[in-house]
Amino acid sequence: MALNRQIAYIDLTTGDVKMKPIPIEIRKLFLGGRGLDMYLMYNHIEPGIDPLGPDNVVFVSAGILGGTLASASSRTHIGGKSPLTGFIGSANMGGFFAPELRWAGFDHIVIKGRAEKPSYLWINNGEIAIRDAGSIWGQTVHDTQQIIREELGDRDIKVLTIGLAGEKLVRFANVMTGMKDAGGRSGMGALLGSKNLKAIAVRGTMDIKIEHPEEALEYNRKIISQITSAKVSQTQGKLGTPFIWGATNTQGLIRVRNFQLNQLENADEVEPEALEELATGMAGCFGCQVHCRSKYIIPEGPYAGVYDEGPEYTSQGAFAGEPGCRSANTILVGNHLVNIYGLDNLETGSMIAWAMELYEKGILTIKDTDGLELRFGNDEALIEMVHRIAKRQGLGDILAEGPLRAAEKIGKDSIKYLIHVKGMSNLHSDERATPALALGIATGSRGADHLRSRPAIDLYHLPESVLRSIYSQPVPYDGPLSSDYHDYEGKPWQVRWQEMCYEAVDCLGICKYHTVFLGATLPSFEEWSELLYYNTGLELSPLDIWNVADRAYNIERLFNIREGMTREHDWLVDRYFDEPTKLGIPNIQGRTIDRDKFKRMIDEYYQHHGWDENGVPRPETLQKLGIENEPSHML
């Protein structure tokens, strides 16, 4: 059946490999993917350990629906204590790795210790071996995957790997698979690098029994129709995620020149329609009908003729908006470099844009940059800094440490120009005009985040009746809701609801773009209950799935509190409150976040969670969710 996959415990220090079944009781509590990884993390990582030391643990998993008939059931989760923030480390990627892992007999991989020399894991139909990675250490993300396939003689092998950035312990290095699928945010690539673990290769041909196959096929046909008929999905299938840039930049909801402006003007070359003209086609992940990723060949310059995939909305921000550049070619080259080096494009762009503002203000000098004119709009300097960060050269070595450590090294009030939460840079969005989105950024469990609690549909001016139909299921809510994205009222519940939505799909292993993220009509808790039953036979109501998400999210909170997080970490930097927006459409201009109202939003957000005024889960909340005795060491 779909639930008979195992969990593997691998000790890189000793070479020991142990395998265990996952009890059905644990499944009902956490399902799989991110949720079960968070449980394992809280149980297997000792408090206060060095994130780059051998005592940290890597968790790699598939969602419980991975590789089944459920639409877009492709997501892989990677967890551990973050080398970037010291709090929750958690990354999620699409592609084809997670289904292959399940077909090889495993749902979760727990990796401890540190290999004596560069190594990789080979997982094949229930068996796991630790192999020498000497021939692939130092290779790019793309070349590593090809070399492993050739070495093992199977072109269908799926590989999860780090690039040079992970080997060099860049604290925001990614774990990658395929051409561009990135386990981004929180530095999981550095964690693998610290363990001398270059890659995990997997090949599986073991069947996954679908519990009710005919019903699963029929229901998935309905889900596919629901997804592909949505205007947002059709637009995404044509333009990819860059379509989001077209809307947000037009309104003035992005940050430009670090945080000095909120709209990139005269930038037609980097608009989604312009990037579409450079695309050679579209691609998709396992089981996806939307196909939101572009394929492209770099048209000019030193990298002319190089093939890659993307760029994403976040690459537009990293290589256009934040550094104030306006070249499509620069976006394509920057996107390619972070793909092959295994760098988080959000953090890379943010760190370079921050350094550009410091250079502009004289905090950094030409001596600090080794002769590089690190000015806004300097495309060549931007690309050069990507190389220097990945290779830890010069100023790049400092920026590779991430926001707070870099600011400590540079000093001179440089910290006040950072745009971060919990030591993780925000993406290129500007939330000064959108309190709901600002609250999601401030309270994200892994730091500044748009994929943990983003109520993006708040921007659509949906009628209150539509909002209530979404946000009152599966948990009744009769509090205030507003169609005005400038309002503060009712937004804490929207953020809380979206947290549960995104946690749930990360447990199931489904893509967020197939949920109530950008599309108000897309699947939600009711549909997930049906998908779960037809594919696995597991009977969980929509409310049960909400409680799974709530349980896992509280585990994340407990982990962070154990590592020193306080209410002060759920906050925005001063620039959100003190510097009004300057550009954009009329109702965006002159906006800031109101400190007093924002504080009250956080109070209300905590109340919705069942946390006290300091953001600590109340005993009765933990008891209701059945996690009052964690860590329980049941698995």
What is the per-residue pLDDT for 4? Answer: 84
Closest CA to 353 of 315, 382, 384: 382
The CATH number given to whatever domain includes residue 461 is 1.10.599.10
Structure tokens at 253: 């909801």
Q: How far apart are CA 483 and CA 504, in angstroms?
A: 25
Residue type, 263: Q
Pairing of strands 424-425, 307-309: unpaired
pLDDT digits (tens, 9 = 90+) for 229-251: 999 999 999 999 999 998 999 99
Are the C-beta atoms of residues 206 and 492 closer than 8 Å to each other? no
Structure tokens at 424: 């993780």
Q: Are residues 488 and 538 in the same domain?
A: yes
DSSP letter assigned to residue 261: B
Q: Are residues 415 and 454 in the same domain?
A: no
Q: How far apart are CA 90 and CA 81, in angstroms?
A: 8
Rg (CA), the chain: 23
pLDDT digits (tens, 9 = 90+) for 426-465: 999 999 999 999 999 999 999 999 999 999 999 999 999 9
By residue range, what is the domain housing residue 73?
A: 6-203
Centre a 10 Å sphere on the Cβ of residue 224 and count the other Cβ atoms it contains.
17
Average confidence (pLDDT) over 174-195: 97
Cis geometry, peptide bond prior to residue 474 (ω within 30 degrees of 0): yes
State the greatest distance between any 2 C-alpha atoms of the chain, in Å, as a whole number. 67
Q: Are residues 52 and 94 in the same domain?
A: yes
Residue whose token pair is 């109501």: 541
Residue type, 414: S
The CATH number given to whatever domain includes residue 161 is 3.60.9.10
The size of the chain, in residues, is 635
Average confidence (pLDDT) over 604-610: 98
Q: Is the pLDDT of residue 270 over 60?
A: yes
Centre a 10 Å sphere on the Cβ of residue 16 and count the other Cβ atoms it contains.
12
Q: Is the pLDDT of residue 1 over 70?
A: no
Residue 585 Rama label (left phi>0; alpha psi -120 to 50; beta)? beta
Q: Are residues 368 and 343 in the same domain?
A: yes
Q: Are residues 19 and 92 in the same domain?
A: yes
Q: Looking at the domain assignment, is residue 633 inside a domain?
A: no
pLDDT digits (tens, 9 = 90+) for 552-580: 999 999 999 999 999 999 999 999 999 99
Residue 447 Rama label (left phi>0; alpha psi -120 to 50; beta)? left
Structure tokens at 100: 């292959």
Backbone angles phi, psi at 188, to 5 degrees: -70, -25
Query: What is the rounded (10 degree) CA torsion for 513, 338, 201, 295?
Result: 60
The CATH number given to whatever domain includes residue 242 is 1.10.569.10
Residues 6 or more apart whose CB falls under 8 angstroms from that of 611 comprise: 557, 617, 618, 621
Centre a 10 Å sphere on the Cβ of residue 412 and count the other Cβ atoms it contains.
11
Q: Are residues 343 and 240 in the same domain?
A: yes
Q: Are residues 497 and 515 in the same domain?
A: yes
Backbone angles phi, psi at 124, to 5 degrees: -145, 110
Q: Looking at the domain assignment, is residue 360 inside a domain?
A: yes
Q: Looking at the domain assignment, is residue 219 inside a domain?
A: no
Listing DSSP states for 311-354 in one string gives: --HHHHIIIIITTT---HHHHHHHHHHHHHHTB-HHHHHHHHHH
Centre a 10 Å sphere on the Cβ of residue 442 and count the other Cβ atoms it contains.
27
Residues 6 or more apart whose CB falls under 8 angstroms from that of 222 comprise: none
Residues 6 or more apart whose CB falls under 8 angstroms from that of 532 comprise: 31, 64, 65, 508, 538, 540, 545
pLDDT digits (tens, 9 = 90+) for 469-515: 999 999 999 999 999 999 999 999 999 999 999 999 999 999 999 99
DSSP letter assigned to residue 570: S
Are the C-beta atoms of residues 313 and 346 closer than 8 Å to each other? no
Angle at 311 between CA 164 and CA 430, to 5 degrees: 100
Q: Is the pLDDT of residue 598 over 60?
A: yes
Residue type, 79: G
Are the C-beta atoms of residues 83 and 234 closer than 8 Å to each other? no
Q: Looking at the domain assignment, is residue 15 inside a domain?
A: yes
Looking at 387, 402, 425, the residue that finishes a domain is 425
Closest CA to 96 of 17, 41, 158, 51: 158
Q: Are residues 493 and 575 in the same domain?
A: yes
Angle at 425 between CA 422 and CA 428, to 5 degrees: 140
Quote the percentage of the chain above a pLDDT of 90. Answer: 99
Q: Looking at the domain assignment, is residue 215 inside a domain?
A: no
Into how many domains does the chain fold? 3
Residues 6 or more apart whose CB falls under 8 angstroms from that of 367 comprise: none
pLDDT digits (tens, 9 = 90+) for 128-156: 999 999 999 999 999 999 999 999 999 99
Position 3 confidence tier, pLDDT thresholds 50, 70, 90? confident
What is the per-residue pLDDT for 35? Answer: 98
* Residue 148 to residues 78, 130, 144, 199, 340, Cα–Cα distance (Å): 21, 13, 6, 9, 16
What is the per-residue pLDDT for 81? Answer: 98
Q: Looking at the domain assignment, is residue 555 inside a domain?
A: yes
Q: Is the pLDDT of residue 27 over 90?
A: yes
Q: Is the pLDDT of residue 304 over 60?
A: yes
H-run or E-run covering 108: strand 106-112
Looking at 392, 425, 458, the residue that finishes a domain is 425
Q: Looking at the domain assignment, is residue 634 inside a domain?
A: no
Q: Are residues 72 and 98 in the same domain?
A: yes
Q: Are residues 490 and 609 in the same domain?
A: yes
Q: Is the pLDDT of residue 395 over 90?
A: yes
Closest CA to 453 of 478, 436, 468: 436
Q: How far apart are CA 90 and CA 183, in angstroms?
A: 8
The 3-state secondary structure of 425-452 reads: ECCCECCCCCHHHHHHHHHCCCCCCCCC
Looking at 425, 450, 476, the residue that finishes a domain is 425
| Mean pLDDT value across the chain | 97
Residues 6 or more apart whose CB falls under 8 angstroms from that of 10 comprise: 16, 17, 109, 110, 111, 112, 121, 128, 130
Q: Looking at the domain assignment, is residue 635 inside a domain?
A: no
Q: How far apart are CA 356 and CA 298, in angstroms?
A: 25
Average confidence (pLDDT) over 598-617: 98
Structure tokens at 367: 């001596």
Q: Are residues 76 and 191 in the same domain?
A: yes
Residue type, 118: P
Q: How far is CA 109 from the centre of its chain?
A: 19
Q: Are residues 398 and 362 in the same domain?
A: yes
